[in-house]
Amino acid sequence: MKLKSLLWAGVVAATLVPVMAMAQDEVAAASAEETAFIFTTLLFLIGGFLVFWMAAGFAMLEAGLVRGKNVTMQLTKNIGLFSIAAIMYWLIGYNVMYPGDGNWIIEGVFGTISPKDIKTDIDAGGYSNASDFFFQLMFCATTASIVSGTLAERIKLWPFLIFVAILTGLIYPIEASWQWGGGWLSAMGFSDFAGSTLVHAAGGFAALAGAIVLGPRLGKYKDGRVNPMPGSNLALATLGTFILWLGWFGFNGGSQLAFGTLSDADAVAQIFANTNMAAAAGAVTALILTQVMYGKVDLTMVLNGALAGLVSITAEPLAPSLFDALWIGAVGGVIVVLTVPMLDKFKIDDVVGAIPVHLLAGIWGTLIVALHTQADRVDAEGNPVLDAAGDPEKVGFVAQLITQAIGVIAIGGFVFVTSLIIWVILKAVAGIRVSEEAEVTGLDTAELGMEAYPEFSKG
């Protein structure tokens, strides 16, 4: 009887032990998957609120670089544009940008128009749907913030906000879908990690179109000379730059889009380091170059040099070494110092220098991606071409550079032409520029009925 019991015990043990082991493996796998989900979602949320903090950076930078009589208007525009972006991106933009498979109105070009329901399925593929929406919204709002500074001190409030609604609801989501939404640029092999062109150059192109239609501020270009119009508070402008610098760690680091493995965590850390190096190099380059060219350091150029370094590294903040990040950011600083005077020659009045920083440095950053990142080579059917070792072959530097250039031209052409048309329509229908009297008096008084703050009254 004992022998029979022992035999049965052995059979049961032999049956249950593997089953229990398999169950433990399944529990461990499920636990690892949930842990990865939690950490990646957390990356989106932390990255998102860091990018949100960039809205404060733009507001402070612009408030410091406009004259005192226009500070309140600039702050009003910034909180208005962010709030409108939040609504428009939910209402239209998010689904246009991320239509998913089979949901394109025009395949690879134009996505679905409908409000996004982030509660239908909490899992967007390894992270929370809501966290992804929140993170991507911040990029959309950043694009609109870029336009605000360029057109400061002479644009009416409501026409500007109408343009913001169109930019954040349609223009930005359409061009961003071509890459990040799996559209035609993505299929071509175009690469823009965190948005040197998709966000920054796009905002710059929209700002350039607006500046051309709007014209320069009164007295900016007179008798063949460029008349300086100093900002109200360089302390605020410097604070804004440091806030933007901080927020950029979320902008670039969060764009790793995963934080559930050791390699992802290390990648985010490398992105932080490269992002910081590029900003520092851009600032130091502008510091030295303005001293050499003008015999004195120009703080506004140094601030924009740091921002240009950040924009330059945004298209590929992971692949470069720290040394590469240094010279990529340094070139961004050179671009700012050399191109700000060039805009004045064309009488394009950019109050805060957003066009050199975001548009031109954004193009530079996108093109130099070809040096560090090449797409997989594919055959006529779209299948990867493998080398002798069975690994995917990469296209060469020149081929990738051409692809990058095509992406820049396509996005720039679409955003600039579309924005130009909208600005022209707004000008014809509602008028976009304040009267000469309002501009002289200041927009705070003329548009908002407020007096300039005492500490800014000298502006």
User: Which pLDDT band holds residue 350 (cuts at 50, 70, 90)?
Assistant: very high
Q: Do 318 and 271 contact (CB within 8 A), yes or no?
A: yes
User: Which pLDDT band holds residue 5 (cuts at 50, 70, 90)?
Assistant: low
| Stretch 140-153: mean pLDDT | 96
Burial class (CB in 10 A: 0-12, 13-18, 19+), 199: buried
Q: For residue 326, give the amino acid letter.
A: L
Report the range of poorest mean pLDDT among 129-138, 205-214, 312-321, 387-396: 387-396
What pLDDT sits at residue 104?
A: 83
What pLDDT sits at residue 123?
A: 76
Q: Which residues contact 362 (CB under 8 A, 6 or more apart)?
A: 196, 197, 199, 200, 201, 204, 311, 312, 314, 315
Q: Do 310 and 244 contact (CB within 8 A), yes or no?
A: yes
Helices and strands per DSSP (H, E), number in the chain: 18, 2
Token pair listed for 175: 């061009």
| Stretch 160-168: mean pLDDT | 97
Within 13 Å of residue 104, how many CA atoms lie on the same side as its CB? Answer: 15
Give pLDDT tens digits for 429-454.
999 999 999 999 999 999 898 765 55
Predicted structure pTM score: 0.90
CA 208/CA 357 separation, integer angstroms: 12
CA 144/CA 146 separation, integer angstroms: 5
Residue ranges per structural domain of the chain: 43-456
Give pLDDT tens digits for 43-77.
999 999 999 999 999 999 999 999 999 999 999 99
- Confidence check: pLDDT of 428 > 80: yes
Angle between helices 71-88 and 129-150 (to 10 degrees): 150
Q: Which of 257, 237, 204 is nearest to 40 (CA)?
A: 257
> Residue 378 has what DSSP assignment?
B
What pLDDT sits at residue 457?
A: 46
| Stretch 261-278: mean pLDDT | 96
Note the maximum CA span of the chain: 115
- Confidence check: pLDDT of 3 > 90: no
User: Which pLDDT band holds residue 143 (cuts at 50, 70, 90)?
Assistant: very high
Q: What are phi and psi of 16, to 5 degrees?
A: -80, -35
| Stretch 152-157: mean pLDDT | 96
pLDDT higher for 407 or 119? 407
The share of the chain scoring above pLDDT 90, in percent, equals 75
CA 284/CA 414 separation, integer angstroms: 34
Task: Please state which architecture CATH assigns to domain 43-456.
Answer: Orthogonal Bundle (1.10)
Q: Which of 335, 310, 3 is nearest to 142 (CA)?
A: 310
What pLDDT sits at residue 388?
A: 67
What pLDDT sits at residue 459?
A: 45
Token pair listed for 274: 């490269």
Q: What are phi and psi of 226, to 5 degrees?
A: -100, 120
Token pair listed for 241: 């730059």
- Confidence check: pLDDT of 289 > 70: yes
- Confidence check: pLDDT of 85 > 80: yes
Report the mean per-residue pLDDT for the chain. 90
Q: What are phi and psi of 108, to 5 degrees?
A: 75, 0
- Confidence check: pLDDT of 32 > 60: yes
For residue 394, the cross-strand partners are: 376
The share of the chain scoring above pLDDT 70, in percent, equals 88
Ramachandran area for residue 104 (φ above 0: left; ψ -120 to 50: alpha; else beta): beta
CA 305/CA 284 separation, integer angstroms: 8
What pLDDT sits at residue 120?
A: 67
- Confidence check: pLDDT of 378 > 80: no
pLDDT higher for 117 or 385? 385
| Stretch 344-372: mean pLDDT | 96
Q: Do 155 and 433 contact (CB within 8 A), yes or no?
A: yes
What pLDDT sits at residue 374?
A: 84
- Confidence check: pLDDT of 132 > 80: yes
Coil vs helix vs strand at 408 = helix
